[in-house]
Structure 1
Amino acid sequence: MAVTGLNQTAGRPFGVDQMRNLALGEQVEALLCQMTLEEKIGQMNQVAGSRDTTGAPANTDIEEDVRTGRVGSVFNAFGAEFTRELQRDAVEHSRLGIPLLFGYDIIHGFRTIFPIPLGQAASWHLEGIERAARIMAKEGAAAGVHWTFAPMVDIARDPRWGRVMEGAGEDTHLTSLIARAQVRGIQGNEPGATDTLAACVKHYAAYGAVEAGREYNTVDMSEWRLRSIYLPPFLAALEEGCASVMTAFNTLNALPATCHPLLLDQILRREWGFEGMVVTDYTAIMELGQHGVAADASEASRKSVNAGVDMDMQSGYFIETLKTLVQNGQVEETRIDEAVRRILWLKAALGLFEDPYRYTSDEREAQCLLTGENRRAAREQAAQSMVLLKNEGNVLPLSDQHQKIALIGPLGNTPRLLGSWRGNGDHDDTVTLREGLANRLGEDAVILCAQGVSNQIGEDDTSGIEEALDLVRQADAVVLALGEDEDYADEAASRADIGLPGAQLELARRVLEAAGDTPVATVLFNGRPLTLTELDDLAPALLEAWWPGTEAGNAVADVLFGDVPPSGKLPMSFPVSVGQVPIYYNAFNTGRPKGVDPKYASQYLDIPNAPLYPFGFGLSYTTFEYGAIETACSEIGPDDTLEVSLTVTNTGERDGIEVVQLYLQDVHASVVRPLRELKDFRRIQLAPGAGERVVFHITPDMRSFLNAELERVQEPGLFRAQIGSCSESGEEIEFTVT
């Protein structure tokens, strides 16, 4: 039986219209007919093209390989002059003159760095996320890049995994919406424009579910969970026209994703109808030997290319082995043609056959990077991404009367606030928190600054605490800057203990004791949810700032002083203890849920089941009142859409932004359904005393799910709709589908 869980067609990437698609196809076929087998295989080979300190290629063989047609794509190469030189080797010195495709990891900014993707997701501001992607694409394209390896759409429920910083968190619906926004921002409306890039959705698939949160580790899950939770964001990106797909490093159900026929052939090609290119992650084909499914380079190449891989990133195995595999009949040349056709089509869609140098403009590169407009956009989004976790006693916002600030902590006066995967971002361009406070308060203010503990995050040196306490006693307000170093959340940066590293908790304890009645605001810079239980018990005010990017200090100051109201909501749950992970809001109930029986229940003996801060949580400097949910009826048919609404009122004294969230529960179904699932949200801005009626429409699609046979169905029965400020708050109503 054909699997129909996710059977919408993703189709031709880039959203190219039919007439242009035909023209590009003819162009590609004409070129393909002229190519030797060796030249075809060369197009399937991607190599690193980084530069040394003199600006020359660090890979000394690359120029000769390009001239002989052994390279189709170069990654980690950027800069108009550098890419133009490499492109000239391909176009003017190879037999067919096929242009190179330049790829680069532009994840949350090229030169102007925006908040890490997890931080951007915390804004729940899709237009802002799309704008950030648009700017990073414009900057990257101005520097000679054609193709970015983004967006990363891995659902992640375990904050020990360092790459949670690169994605949108734990929820499938929110991640899918953000994936669409990022693809739109990266690729724009005109794929042939010189200020857009080709996108590459990654890591296909289920990489965010690695066991124990350990990088590159095993994934084993049911096909139901794969299709219900982990695949929809990929389909969303492809439906938006995403040009390419990157395979994941992990195994999935005992088979590496890079040679996985179910993923690469059955689902991606046959069910979704995707016609674009598939590239591996770095040396992933080579790693099939380490996984233990390939005895040598030849077997690794055969398995990956026959499964559906079109381009090999960096291992060089295709160049070494594919010709012999074709000659021996182990790989059909038609399969090679299929892969090369997709690669050439992407190059044609980017306009590289018309003008191979169209992305290599020195003038555009000089004008587009780190502009004032780009900085303003980065500052705005960084402020929108921050989440106010706690504000006991209304410590925040700070007042303009606070003119002597003690800035304490290892992250208070450092530019290392860009986060990992920072493109070509430069720490020298970063606004530190100290600089941001000084910019906000003006020349008359005094900022007393001390690290307190080592700025080598993770060290236990406490020798600087007494100096910090002396400054705290002199100040009329304290800002405590704590968190992780940029290298603590990254690829190959898993952490078993996700508390504050080193002696930072001791510093916080001592500072808060010394401060007395002086207001203390704790700002957290980090790339993942942390276990903050002890800090939460001590600190009256906690602001989660993530790694905010180039405009970090200015954006934090904007929020601390109330110039921008905090409006972020958590895209990942913050656990009470690492012992709870993986932890996520949309879990299944059990046969013995907590609260039914005091002992024989699904619970811990020593900690609660609930997280410290749940998915969707975030405070404001004002308060919001949610009115009663209104609906015209409580019984609908299977094809009906139910309108539900309520009024949200700003009952405080300051302007505020609220993210109103709709959750749905299918109470009784043929398979177990989550306790709640995010289905929609609205981001509204309200002046003091103002109210707004917020309307949601619960559609048949929202009520559908995969049954035990992996068929998407909607079943009659009882549903609950919850509208509130986070996943654990809000009024519920019930309705029935007959």
Structure 2
Amino acid sequence: MDQKQINDLLTKMTLEEKISQLLQLTANLHEGTEDQSQITGPMEEMGITGEMVRASGSVLGLSGAASIIALQQDYLKKSRLGIPLLFMADVVHGFKTIFPIPLAIGCSWDLELAEKSAEIAARESAVSGIHVTFAPMVDLVRDPRWGRVMETTGEDPYLNSLFARAFVRGYQGSELAEDNERLAACVKHFAAYGAAEGGRDYNTVDMSERQLREYYLPAYKAALDEGCEMVMASFNTVDGIPASGNEKLMRGILRDEWGFEGILISDWASIREMIAHGAAEDDCEAAYRAMRAGVDIEMMTPCYVQHLPQLIESGRIDESLIDEAVLRILQLKNKLGLFENPFRGADPEREREVLFCDEHRRAAYDLAVKSSVLLKNNSVLPLQPDSSIALIGPFADHEDILGWWSCVGAKEDAVQLGTAMRERVSGNLTTASGCGFDTMTAEQLEKALEAAREADVIVLALGEESTMSGEGGSRTDITLPEVQLELVKHLKKLGKPIAAVIFNGRPLDLHGVFDEADAVLEVWFPGSEGGAAIADLLIGRANPSGRLTMSFPHSAGQIPVYYNAFNTGRPMDPSKTGERYVSKYIDSPNEPLLPFGYGLSYTCFEYGGLHISGSEMTAEQHLTASVEVTNTGTRTGIETVQLYIRDITGEVVRPLRELKGFQRLELQPGETKMVEFSISEDMLRYHHSDLRFTSDPGSFQLFIGPNSRDTLQAAFKLI
């Protein structure tokens, strides 16, 4: 259909038909709607009727080509104007083939592989009938207590923006209208959801507009600049106003300033939740505020369908706002080709061929290898394949490695670590749980000790079970469960080398394992091929190359702790530890245990010869910074060379350093490569107190190194 036909279709719609397009309900609510007596329980409590379900414009959470085709056919038979349904789902880090969680994907620093993971997720979803994914989540997060930290790519706005673009490219491709193997992407959660106070899900967010624009908005804007079709409003307040009813945020910034013309959807029931926030008296007021803010689709509450007609009749809402919202929905349905082919890519036969195929599993394996981060190694890793190994811990033989938001991925399909190790190790391998995730029996402990006594080396597979992170999974204590730390203590007494493998959905306080183990490998929730990837890393078939995209705290008491912080008027001098009246803790270091960008390898890299092409630059004339990187070890390895810049003096104080570029390079043993970065004036811009985005003349420091802490440095001026 062309735009004129879309406009003509809109004019033929009744008000009720228009408003029905604004309602999204879950697939299970479409069952039994022929019989009005079946509308009971949660549906009744939400005020949802069978007629609403039959008329709603989009469906959440249904998958499977046959099921979607059947529902679409049934729906179209009853649609007066033949307007098809949109099918949406949370395809966050894979559909059937599950990739590592997004936080892990960020730690790969591999944008091409991240894009490929989204492309594969889209292919599997599209053939199963899905049209839209609620991804990527690009919320910047500085608080690992928040359960949904597992969905982000980290604490840095620059890196998050690059990954946002990569994921959108992967999901949508370049020709969404013609490519039935792609999905429309929906960036979330707009805005600043990752800054919830106390790391508590759904909690208040309160920050200055300058802070919002400087750190939290860039990744959303990057996704939209890449062509992302949809935006999801966040649960939280922004400047005291719930996002779903925030006109300044949605109409002012998103629509007017950024020019976004796509669909804005609420998060689950977030329009009605304005009542609990204290921003709306009832459903009618919530509908009024959300529509005024420009929210097009209401997910899982009936405020719009129940109250927009009377709001229009009373003159509080102009019907033109409804028309705008419906037009955006019709345009996306048209872009997806649903009017001509309402089943789009859904194909039951091809679905069986595509889902969880070997090609997709190989990509999941590659990403699991590249996202794992070696945090510590006292020459224990890689293991010798002919060693006698005791694999101990709750993850030794456990399938719970997919992580939260694993869509239709099946835990039983995941490659377990124990299984993969038995296939690869030629020496004796004994496995024992030692404990559960949060319980331990005497029998479990004794079996673990028995296995460990007979082994040359102990591999400890520890961590969080998947329900300990994800949505609603906020924690105040981010150490490993106490029984797992007790297990470490018992095994440490045997005097055997210990390599710990940590499965988790967030940065942890690793005390009790980091200080006790000889090696620590962070593997996150690694996805369907996780066991195979980890086993190959442990025995040295693969070399760790991941780098942290969130700082690991010494303790939860430091949170928020992040690399790009401001200095204070009384900074601590590390050489003067006895000073009291400086900005410091008396019981902990200021710095994180492990900094942003950190990660080890089975080889070693040496940096030298930092050179900058001049001491001054202008807006027109760039500088070039170069450094020599040498692989001084005996194995081929990948190094992520990172560029940071500090603006020494600003109209608004600037962070101690900010990531401005990086390059991943593979080096053979003894090989040296020159790495160059171009420094341009636009890299020096920031939001001033009046929100102007510009740079200031003055002095700058430049840092290049393997992480945000261990760097070489040089100086230059902008004139």
1:191 to 176, 180, 194: 176
Give 1:29 deviation, angstroms: 0.7
1:85 to 70, 92, 103: 70
Give 1:50 deviation, angstroms: 3.5
1:651 maps to which residue?
632
Contact preservation (8 Å) 1:411, 1:482: yes
Contact preservation (8 Å) 2:464, 2:505: yes
- Asked if 1:125 is matched to 2:110, the reply is yes
Contact preservation (8 Å) 1:67, 1:94: no
Contact preservation (8 Å) 2:608, 2:628: yes
2:444 maps to which residue?
464
Give 1:459 deviation, angstroms: 3.1
- Asked if 1:275 is matched to 2:261, the reply is yes
Contact preservation (8 Å) 2:568, 2:583: yes
What is the CA deviation profile of residues 459-493 of structure 1, one whole-angstrom value per residue up to 9, with x for unaligned ones? 35565212201100112222100000000011011
Give 1:261 deviation, angstroms: 1.0
Relative to structure 1, the CA distance from residue 67 to residue 534 in structure 2 (aligned partners, 3 Å threshold; closer, same or farther) is closer
Query: In the aligned structure 2, how far is the partner of 1:500 from the partner of 1:491?
Result: 19
Query: In the aligned structure 1, how far is the partner of 2:683 from the partner of 2:15?
Result: 49
1:373 maps to which residue?
359
1:419 to 396, 403, 417: 403
1:396 maps to which residue?
381
Give 1:640 deviation, angstroms: 2.2
1:31 maps to which residue?
9
Contact preservation (8 Å) 1:65, 1:71: no
Query: In the aligned structure 1, how far is the partner of 2:138 from the partner of 2:602?
Result: 31
1:101 to 59, 75, 86: 86
1:432 maps to which residue?
416
- Asked if 1:504 is matched to 2:507, the reply is no
Query: In the aligned structure 2, how far is the partner of 1:161 from the partner of 1:606?
Result: 24
Relative to structure 1, the CA distance from residue 408 to residue 703 in structure 2 (aligned partners, 3 Å threshold; closer, same or farther) is same
Secondary structure of the residue aligned to 2:305 is helix
Query: In the aligned structure 2, how far is the partner of 1:526 from the partner of 1:462?
Result: 25
1:588 to 566, 571, 585: 566
2:680 to 679, 699, 711: 699
1:112 maps to which residue?
97
Paired AA for residue 433 in structure 2: Q
Relative to structure 1, the CA distance from residue 68 to residue 696 in structure 2 (aligned partners, 3 Å threshold; closer, same or farther) is closer
Query: In the aligned structure 1, how far is the partner of 2:110 from the partner of 2:219?
Result: 17
2:527 maps to which residue?
549
Query: In the aligned structure 2, how far is the partner of 1:125 from the partner of 1:529?
Result: 20
Tell me whether 359-368 or 693-702 shows the greater mean CA deviation. 359-368
1:334 maps to which residue?
320
1:179 maps to which residue?
164
Query: In the aligned structure 2, how far is the partner of 1:634 from the partner of 1:24?
Result: 56
Query: In the aligned structure 1, how far is the partner of 2:718 from the partner of 2:358?
Result: 53
What is the CA deviation profile of residues 191-234 of structure 1, one whole-angstrom value per residue up to 9, with x for unaligned ones? 12111000000000010000000011001100000000000000
Query: In the aligned structure 2, how far is the partner of 1:380 from the partner of 1:50?
Result: 36
- Asked if 1:567 is matched to 2:545, the reply is yes
Relative to structure 1, the CA distance from residue 693 to residue 50 in structure 2 (aligned partners, 3 Å threshold; closer, same or farther) is farther
Query: In the aligned structure 1, how far is the partner of 2:583 from the partner of 2:398?
Result: 44
Query: In the aligned structure 2, how far is the partner of 1:730 from the partner of 1:82?
Result: 55
Relative to structure 1, the CA distance from residue 421 to residue 462 in structure 2 (aligned partners, 3 Å threshold; closer, same or farther) is farther
Contact preservation (8 Å) 2:153, 2:160: yes
Runs of 4 or more consecutive aligned structure 1 residues displaced over 4 Å after TM superposition: 51-54, 56-69, 460-463
Query: In the aligned structure 1, how far is the partner of 2:31 from the partner of 2:74?
Result: 21
Contact preservation (8 Å) 2:25, 2:53: no
1:140 maps to which residue?
125
Secondary structure of the residue aligned to 2:609 is coil
TM-score when scaled to structure 1?
Answer: 0.93
Query: In the aligned structure 1, how far is the partner of 2:275 from the partner of 2:491?
Result: 52
1:665 maps to which residue?
646
Relative to structure 1, the CA distance from residue 316 to residue 549 in structure 2 (aligned partners, 3 Å threshold; closer, same or farther) is same
- Asked if 1:735 is matched to 2:708, the reply is no
1:19 maps to which residue?
none
TM-score when scaled to structure 2?
Answer: 0.96
Contact preservation (8 Å) 1:161, 1:213: yes
Paired AA for residue 660 in structure 2: K
Alignment of 1:595-674 (within 5 A): 595=573, 598-674=579-655
- Asked if 1:354 is matched to 2:340, the reply is yes
Secondary structure of the residue aligned to 1:112 is coil
Unaligned stretches of 5+ residues in structure 2:
none
Contact preservation (8 Å) 2:631, 2:672: yes
Query: In the aligned structure 1, how far is the partner of 2:390 from the partner of 2:398?
Result: 15
Contact preservation (8 Å) 1:567, 1:618: yes
1:20 maps to which residue?
none
Give 1:74 deviation, angstroms: 0.2
Paired AA for residue 74 in structure 2: D
- Asked if 1:450 is matched to 2:432, the reply is yes
Contact preservation (8 Å) 1:460, 1:502: no
Relative to structure 1, the CA distance from residue 76 to residue 66 in structure 2 (aligned partners, 3 Å threshold; closer, same or farther) is farther
Query: In the aligned structure 2, how far is the partner of 1:593 from the partner of 1:44?
Result: 53
1:200 maps to which residue?
186
- Asked if 1:713 is matched to 2:694, the reply is yes
Query: In the aligned structure 2, how far is the partner of 1:685 from the partner of 1:419?
Result: 30
Secondary structure of the residue aligned to 2:664 is strand
Secondary structure of the residue aligned to 1:200 is strand
Paired AA for residue 325 in structure 1: L
Identity %: 48
1:3 maps to which residue?
none
Give 1:295 deviation, angstroms: 1.1
Give 1:59 deviation, angstroms: 12
Give 1:536 deviation, angstroms: 1.6
Contact preservation (8 Å) 2:20, 2:52: no
Give 1:405 deviation, angstroms: 2.0
What is the CA deviation profile of residues 685-706 of structure 1, one whole-angstrom value per residue up to 9, with x for unaligned ones? 1110011111101111111111
Query: In the aligned structure 2, how far is the partner of 1:563 from the partner of 1:65?
Result: 57
Unaligned stretches of 5+ residues in structure 1:
1-22
Query: In the aligned structure 2, how far is the partner of 1:195 from the partner of 1:202?
Result: 22
Query: In the aligned structure 2, how far is the partner of 1:57 from the partner of 1:191?
Result: 38
2:18 maps to which residue?
40
Query: In the aligned structure 1, how far is the partner of 2:332 from the partner of 2:35?
Result: 25
1:410 maps to which residue?
394
Contact preservation (8 Å) 1:383, 1:555: yes
Secondary structure of the residue aligned to 2:653 is coil
1:478 maps to which residue?
458
After superposition, the CA RMSD in angstroms is 1.9
Relative to structure 1, the CA distance from residue 24 to residue 162 in structure 2 (aligned partners, 3 Å threshold; closer, same or farther) is farther
Secondary structure of the residue aligned to 1:374 is helix
Contact preservation (8 Å) 2:385, 2:424: no
Give 1:563 deviation, angstroms: 1.1
Secondary structure of the residue aligned to 2:182 is coil
1:160 to 145, 159, 171: 145
Query: In the aligned structure 2, how far is the partner of 1:148 from the partner of 1:65?
Result: 26
Query: In the aligned structure 1, how far is the partner of 2:353 from the partner of 2:272?
Result: 40
Query: In the aligned structure 1, how far is the partner of 2:87 from the partner of 2:124?
Result: 14
Contact preservation (8 Å) 2:497, 2:517: no
Tell me whether 428-437 or 628-637 shows the greater mean CA deviation. 628-637
Give 1:309 deviation, angstroms: 0.3
Contact preservation (8 Å) 1:386, 1:544: yes
1:259 to 242, 245, 248: 245
Contact preservation (8 Å) 2:434, 2:440: no
What is the CA deviation profile of residues 152-172 of structure 1, one whole-angstrom value per residue up to 9, with x for unaligned ones? 000000000000001111110
- Asked if 1:345 is matched to 2:331, the reply is yes
1:531 to 489, 496, 509: 509
What is the CA deviation profile of residues 507-557 of structure 1, one whole-angstrom value per residue up to 9, with x for unaligned ones? 01211221x2x4321100000000012322111100000000001110001
